[in-house]
């Protein structure tokens, strides 16, 4: 069976249009490792090979029978309709029968050729993100922080529900790796910072820890990592904040405090959207939104190097998130059966020295649900409206949707 496929469905009368449409969108579509079924007439749709995940662009009307045939050859189908050539009319007739027969599908509606291409890219990226998560090796260095009394998950459940493997690594191994790292160049990190309120030695040691973590990532073949970071402060006086900031900026999911459910959330978010993810404590909720704060964040905007909040030691990062931009808040439940998801807008916030250094307020539709139906203290945040990406990925993982 093929893994990822793409097809264009057209009537005979619309064949020239469909070919022209494919010629235009093929320049934008990211088709690496994607099997292209071709521009197909309805009678040929049943001849395609069986495929685990197929995106089907309904180019024109008169393709209803073709939709039924090609869906039958697909384990999971995303149908993309658009506003011209009776595309949506054909899609609605088709999905009405699919729904009546309880056959699964996803429908996306696009307004332009560029939008069609983007819908294809999003769908394929989300599915590839799920595939990566299912085969991922998730590193857990030092175990889980004692205060995470709810946000815990057994390695057996991770393998059973998600497919990923949890690789446990002793904290002593990270400390030994850290001590083996020599002098490091702080140039890029310090030159790019808007301001620096810590000693250069703090930054050097934080970067040494980054290279120590990278060494373990390579040694164990990890795809994501979580660190019981407060133990590092006690043992070597260095925080993992900067190391995790750089890793997440590089697109490598990295969470604090040994929070594995949040690491799974961040991994899903990073791989399904292609964007770096912020992990934050919920520090305040009202009926207008939620305030998240943490001393580490992907370096997606202007940033300052400060000390770590609780300890006053080492290096913490204050990243400025862009006010007015959309952002997606989400979290997978510790039993790995549900994802909580909400799209909001970044709002301005009066920065406080009594909170972790990066502080982000997000206006949400139903923020009080975070208090009334709690799901732990950490949430993940990614810039942009990624509802469709995460919805599609979550459906592939059989995660129930819970909106905020």
Phi, psi of 76 (to 5 degrees): -145, 130
Pairing of strands 278-286, 289-294: antiparallel
CA–CA gap between residue 103 and residue 76 (Å, rounded)? 10
Listed by start position, the domains of the chain span 2-134, 137-403
| Cβ–Cβ < 8 Å for 332, 382 | no
Task: Tell me what pLDDT residue 42 has.
Answer: 98
Residue whose token pair is 């404590």:
281
The CATH number that domain 137-403 falls under is 3.20.14
Mean pLDDT computed over 340-364? 98
Print burial letters for 88-119: b (CB count within 10 Å at least 16), e (below 16).
bbbbeebbeebeeeeeebbbbebeebebbbbb
- Total residues found in the chain within this entry: 404
The CATH number that domain 2-134 falls under is 3.40.50.10940
What integer best gives the mean pLDDT of the chain? 97
pLDDT at 129 over 90: yes
Tokens (6 digits) for 290? 């939620």
- Report pLDDT digits (tens) over 223-258: 999 999 999 999 999 999 999 999 999 999 999 999
- Report pLDDT digits (tens) over 260-274: 999 999 999 999 999
Q: Where are the beta strands (DSSP E) in 50-164?
A: 51-58, 74-82, 106-110, 137-141
- Report pLDDT digits (tens) over 282-332: 999 999 999 999 999 999 999 999 999 999 999 999 999 999 999 999 999
Q: What angle do CA 324, 249, 153 make, to 5 degrees?
A: 95
Print burial letters for 149-185: b (CB count within 10 Å at least 16), e (below 16).
eebebeeebbeebbebebbebebebbbebbeebeebe
Distances (CA, A) of 8 to 49, 94, 117, 243: 14, 15, 12, 45
DSSP for 332-369, please give it.
E-TTSSEEEEEEEEEE-----TTS-SEEEEEE-SSTTH
Percent of the chain with pLDDT over 70: 100
> pLDDT tier at 30 (50, 70, 90 boundaries)?
confident
Task: Tell me what pLDDT residue 32 has.
Answer: 84
| Cβ–Cβ < 8 Å for 360, 346 | yes
- Give the 3-state secondary structure percentages of the chain, helix then strand then coil, rounded to 5: 35, 25, 35
């Amino acid at each position: 069976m093929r893994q990822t496929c793409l097809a264009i469905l057209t009537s005979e009368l619309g064949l020239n249009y469909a070919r022209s449409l494919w010629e235009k969108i093929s320049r934008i579509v990211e088709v690496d490792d994607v099997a292209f079924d071709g521009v197909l007439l309805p009678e040929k749709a049943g001849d395609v090979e069986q495929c685990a995940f197929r995106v089907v662009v309904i180019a024109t009307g008169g393709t209803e029978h073709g939709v039924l045939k090609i869906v039958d050859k697909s384990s999971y189908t995303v149908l993309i309709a658009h506003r011209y050539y009776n595309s949506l009319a054909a899609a609605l007739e088709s999905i009405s029968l699919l729904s009546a027969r309880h056959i699964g599908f996803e429908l996306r509606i696009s307004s332009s050729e560029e939008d069609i291409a983007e819908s294809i890219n999003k769908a394929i990226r989300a599915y590839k993100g799920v595939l990566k998560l299912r085969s991922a090796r998730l590193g857990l260095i030092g175990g889980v922080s004692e205060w995470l009394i709810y946000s815990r998950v057994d390695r057996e459940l991770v393998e059973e529900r998600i497919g990923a493997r949890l690789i446990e690594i002793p904290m002593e191994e990270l400390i030994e790796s850290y001590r083996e790292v020599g002098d490091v160049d702080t140039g890029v990190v310090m030159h790019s910072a808007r301001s620096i309120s810590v000693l250069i030695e703090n930054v050097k040691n934080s970067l040494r820890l980054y290279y120590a973590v990278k060494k373990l990532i390579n040694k164990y073949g990890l795809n994501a990592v979580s660190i019981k970071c407060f133990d590092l402060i006690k043992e070597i006086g260095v925080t993992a904040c900067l190391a995790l900031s750089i890793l997440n900026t590089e697109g490598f999911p990295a969470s604090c405090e040994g929070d594995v459910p949040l690491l799974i959330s961040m991994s899903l978010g990073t791989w399904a959207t292609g964007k770096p993810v912020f992990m934050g404590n919920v520090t305040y909720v009202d009926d207008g939104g939620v305030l998240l704060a943490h001393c580490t964040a992907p370096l997606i905007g202007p940033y300052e190097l400060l000390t770590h909040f609780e300890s006053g030691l080492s290096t913490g990062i204050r990243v400025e998130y862009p006010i007015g931009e959309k952002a997606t808040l989400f979290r997978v439940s510790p039993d790995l059966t549900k994802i909580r998801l909400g799209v909001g807008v970044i709002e301005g916030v009066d920065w406080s020295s009594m909170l972790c250094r990066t502080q982000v307020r997000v206006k949400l539709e139903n923020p009080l649900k975070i208090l009334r139906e709690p799901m732990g203290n950490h949430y993940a945040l990614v810039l942009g409206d990624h509802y469709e990406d995460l919805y599609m990925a979550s459906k592939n993982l059989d995660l129930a949707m819970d909106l905020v």
